[in-house]
Structure 1
């Protein structure tokens, strides 16, 4: 009993921080989502009206589709690329340490900094990306939806592929050498070793990497807003942009609150689905 009490005391500061920074604001948002606001301080109960309004809005579903599509493309690019780079890194030695440090540098850059970096790189006459695309022939037309999406995906890949690489590299180094020795004795080729030894051993690592990248890319805001401002048109207006537009620019606190709660439920549902895959049922806490 004393041990459990000690554990609770150790967790208490974190629980207090989570309560103040997460639970309390979520409670206010839930309150706004069920009320209409007048003059900023007068609230009228409207029940689920705002949820019905959000769920019947085509803009919400299009923004959700764009967010999910962006996350899917991010995973299709960064997970295979991260696995490939991790497999190509040296297992030990000074070069391994140097390369790991270099790979970690993009992860240290704040999201807003990455956004402005790529914003500058796409500018005519001074942007590196603009110069490269111009030299290749087609140019860099930021009014072209496909080009804009390609720039955002390139930006995300530069910023976050290293996370997948480092996780996979750690998972590969945890595989006992006896597995490789037995595979070589059996005459297994490189593809067979990857398929039957490395990939199964990376299952949990990959699920964690996919979960982290899925959640982060699904909630992307600063980088995309800096580079595209949601354009051209609304082609890069993701669900996070739609939420900020509704709650802070249009100042529709009720509709914004309902959209926030729905956003939260989507994130929790996806996280729970991955938790169910990562942690076997018999190992879950009671």
Structure 2
């Protein structure tokens, strides 16, 4: 029997599309317009074509050198963040209780860092790392470890990474915990009957069942870490020197500090394209890995 398809339901989502077009597409077109022009102030713009994009992708130019340097810092930072927060989040989720009043307590404690605004997080760690009144800086220096995130590049990176791990590991842990809670008890009972070890249960049951939530966690954490701005700007201001100047900070310097709207617009478009491409690569790899794993699991059942 043929089903009648009623397309009138699309009219219900039409306001959403219009809202997205107004709030996203139109501003994007404005940025594209700026990226192909130059200005000398007084709201006077001059056509420049793809000149800013050529300069941006040329390492020999000032703009290209600054962009590539900040891009490498972003990639290194995101790689370190993912390699730390994902395993830590899984470990925390595995350590959490499965029932009782302690579950609510653990969830509340984990959610606390996520409720703090980003600028406040930067201010907290700016004070926390100070040598005179900060607990972290004072304790490290008292222990004989020379620590000063204002003048030492490694200390600045250590502070920014530690701050991000403290702030966002909870998100990965909560997502992983939700994935673990969705696993039926029958899987654990079968593993217990087979005499499976704790590691075998993790690799054969828990990790595959957390695949989708881990995909979400990796995508969210990559996007957030790659677009990080407020926390390192408040703590280090992009310094010492340019050691923690990520693309977002470089973009603000060009747009607001130098008022080069054309360069900033071109940089923001390339920045956005890089995020979309890397997220697509992550998503494709992890979904393909999940698709290869599912037939094996189905055959085993």
Give, in whole Å, the separation in 2 of the partners of 1:97 and 1:31. Answer: 50
Shift of 1:13: 4.0
Give 2:122's aligned residue: 115
Give yes or no for the alignment of 1:183 onto 2:191: yes
Shift of 1:162: 0.3
Conserved 8 A contact 1:37-1:254:
yes
Give yes or no for the alignment of 1:159 onto 2:167: yes
Give yes or no for the alignment of 1:171 onto 2:173: no
Give 1:28's aligned residue: 30
Give 1:86's aligned residue: 93
Give 2:73's aligned residue: 66
Give, in whole Å, the separation in 2 of the partners of 1:49 and 1:220. Answer: 27
Shift of 1:241: 0.8
Give 1:39's aligned residue: 41
Which deviates further from its counterpart, 121-130 or 93-102? 121-130
Q: 1:237 aligns with which of 235, 245, 258?
A: 245
Conserved 8 A contact 1:50-1:255:
yes
Deviation string, structure 1 residues 33-76 (Cα, Å, up to 9, x no partner): 11112324222222110001111111110100000110000001
Shift of 1:270: 1.8
Give 1:223's aligned residue: 231
Shift of 1:204: 1.1
Deviation string, structure 1 residues 228-258 (Cα, Å, up to 9, x no partner): 0111111000011111111111011111111
Give yes or no for the alignment of 1:195 onto 2:206: no
Deviation string, structure 1 residues 9-39 (Cα, Å, up to 9, x no partner): 4434433332222211111110011111232
Question: How many residues align structurally?
Answer: 281
Give 2:294's aligned residue: none
- State the structure with bigger RCO (CA 8 A, min sep 6), 1 or 2: 1
Question: SS in structure 2 opposite 1:77?
Answer: helix
Shift of 1:274: 3.1
Give, in whole Å, the separation in 1 of the partners of 2:81 and 2:125. Answer: 17
Give 1:260's aligned residue: 268
Question: SS in structure 1 opposite 2:239?
Answer: coil
Distance 1:135 1:4, change over 3 A: farther
Shift of 1:144: 1.3
Shift of 1:211: 0.4
Output the TM-score relative to the length of structure 2: 0.88
Give, in whole Å, the separation in 1 of the partners of 2:110 and 2:22. Answer: 35
Give, in whole Å, the separation in 1 of the partners of 2:90 and 2:144. Answer: 32
The runs of 5 or more residues in structure 1 that have no matched partner are none
Give, in whole Å, the separation in 1 of the partners of 2:101 and 2:231. Answer: 34
